[in-house]
Amino acid sequence: MEKIRADGYFKRRSIVKRMRITAIKTFMARFGKRPRGLIKVETDEGLYGWGEAYSTGPDLSVEPIADYIFEMIQGDDPRRIEYIMMKLHQQFRFPPGGAGLAVISAIDHALWDISGKAAGLPVYMLLGGHARDRIRVYRGIGGRDGIEAADQAHKLHEDWGFTAFKTSPYQRDPDADRWGRVCDAAATYFEQIRNNTPADWEIAFDPHAKIFEPIRALQLANALAPYDPYFYEEPLRPEHMPAWARLRSQMQVPLATGESLYTRFEFLDVISVQGADIIQPDICVCGGLLEMRKIAAIAEAHYVSIAPHNPMGPLATAVNVHFSAATPNFKILEYLLPTETEWNDWVDEPYLPKDGYLELRDRPGLGVEVNESAIADNEYIHWQRTCPIRPDGSTGYI
């Protein structure tokens, strides 16, 4: 056993050996009919880490951006995450945008994975330890009417214990029908869900940033309000913050946003104008786990909770589990079941819900190991978002 010096510190036998980044490898894993960029960072000590990039498009940009970044950080110690992230943002010089930040985010994940493995600790222990013992998750539902959506919710509850859900409010075409009818149909849909599910279940609504006029967003919120939505997610586009502040001041239900925002600076904009009750940054595009921690700290200081955007694979979910475990103002995590997709073989043991929660693990790093053989073919599937066409021939929001 090491002896304690007179000043109270252990006498160290050796300094921590420096580790160096030696390679960044990119894989295109199948995500249904779309690709997903996975990144592996390797070191001279044999340790490696994995991260997942969000598909902001074009997906083929992930590999060249990762190769470009490697030239910036080759030889750096992967545990110097703050330094590496600062270096990348400064060396890019101009804001890297969605495509650049998606790759930076995946590299950040991998660095945390390496750091946890090097320390022999789960990542959440490097973040100050877990503030909670398990992570509540919610799942998307839908149907031709509220009864069908409620049936889906009951099945998810029976199989996995979910008690929180999110759905689209649109039962009529918001780009073609009279807006009053769209709102009325949404209210009927919600009432049917409420009448066919337990009173303590949470139901959130996502208009998906399809509404241009803030007054229409307010009208839809008012139609849903009598049935107590868990939150009302991103009805507007994210560019004009005063519109969010005005909308929030008029609403009677919790307003959430953030999947289209990047970095702490953009989240500071919406938080400082009191434009949201709940923020929803995506750990695969906002800049990574380190950046999410900074965003969460700003939110906590303004009494804003955080419900991460996570329509992602099991690797992204693993990163979110560690963030959520160590974040005091965490609220709930969006979640897709890997057992319903080919993602199930991406990792050795995906985080699966029990009683509607994800349990923490004490495995070092992110707590999952990527099955490289399952993604080794790097098959690319072209995918792009397609906007709706309105009756007059103009384009609508996706």
* Token pair for 35: 């690709």
* Token pair for 180: 């009053």
Segment (H or E) for 139: strand 134-140
In degrees, rounded to 5, the angle at the alpha carbon of residue 393 between the alpha carbons of residues 392 and 396 is 95
Q: Which of 109, 130, 157, 309 is catalytic?
A: 309
208 is catalytic: yes
Give pLDDT tens digits for 165-177: 999 999 999 999 9
Band of pLDDT at residue 4, cut at 50, 70 and 90: very low
Give pLDDT tens digits for 344-384: 678 889 999 999 999 999 999 999 999 888 887 767 778 88
134-140 and 34-43 as β-strands: parallel, antiparallel, unpaired? Answer: unpaired
Rounded to whole angstroms, how far apart are CA atoms 337 and 312?
Answer: 9
**Residue 241: partners with Cβ closer than 8 Å, 6 or more residues away:** 269, 270, 273, 275
**CA-to-CA separations, 309 to 48, 101, 248, in angstroms, rounded:** 26, 15, 20
**Residue 208: partners with Cβ closer than 8 Å, 6 or more residues away:** 168, 233, 234, 397, 398
What average pLDDT does range 115-123 have in this prediction? 98
322 is catalytic: no
| Domains of the chain listed by start with CATH number | 21-121 (3.30.390.10), 125-366 (3.20.20.120)
Instruction: Note the pTM of the prediction, 2 decimals.
Output: 0.93
Which residue's entry shows tokens 């009683």? 355
Please choose, from the candidates 313, 330, 321, the residue with its C-alpha nearest in 3D space to the C-alpha of residue 367: 321
